[in-house]
Amino acid sequence: MKTFNKNYIAICILSFIVSCKSQILPLNTILRNIPEGSYVKDLNHELDPYIGIYKSNFEGNEITLYITKQENKLEKSTGKTYYLDALSVKYIVKNSSGVILQDTQNYNVPNIELYSIATRPYENKIIFYYSGTNCGIGWGRIVLKKVNNNQMLWDYQPNSGALGNDCPANADKTVYLPETDNLIFTKQ
């Protein structure tokens, strides 16, 4: 009888440990359906075709995007904490003379984030959240649409250019990313 009790307790503990493991969900799981502590994983490799270095020119500036895949990214939104696979974008913007206007690739700029929040595989699109520049100026949504293996279209619609009361007067308030639709970026 003691052996039975020990085995029963061991099985119960093992079952508890296995059930505590986070649930793995596919990309595009609706936020309200994501349990606390879950992992939204790129099960079908939808993010992989976008990884790489891309360049474009807009209004005399050269924009270089460095797109990488970040696995198990901690996400805290609407009172919920979970993990997800996401594309992370760092960039360098140079003027026509080659002077760097903004560089998030080589300098750790923690207040500027640009990462994927959803995919639309049937439209070849990835939707990104952009935190904006200093003081959140220009925050909004960026959509990248894969045209072919070497090109994608850029669509950036900023939500706000307004300043908060806590924005320092000397902060660079310029949005260097191109505010436009259908700008072609070419893979390098």
Mapped to the 3 state alphabet, what secondary structure does 6-19 carry? HHHHHHHHHHHHHH
Per-residue model confidence (pLDDT) at position 109: 67
Does residue 42 fall inside a structural domain?
no
Q: 102: domain range?
A: 47-71+90-187
User: Residue 135 in 3-state DSSP?
Assistant: helix
Does residue 81 fall inside a structural domain?
no
Does residue 174 fall inside a structural domain?
yes
Does residue 151 fall inside a structural domain?
yes
Per-residue model confidence (pLDDT) at position 2: 64
pTM for the predicted model, two decimal places = 0.84
Beta strands in the chain (DSSP E): 24-26, 39-41, 52-58, 61-77, 80-94, 100-103, 114-120, 125-130, 140-146, 151-158, 183-187
Q: How many angstroms separate the CA atoms of 169 and 106, rounded?
A: 25
Judged by average pLDDT, the poorest of 17-31, 153-167, 171-185 is: 17-31
Our count of domains for the chain comes to 1
- pLDDT of 3 above 70: no
Does residue 153 fall inside a structural domain?
yes
Per-residue model confidence (pLDDT) at position 183: 98
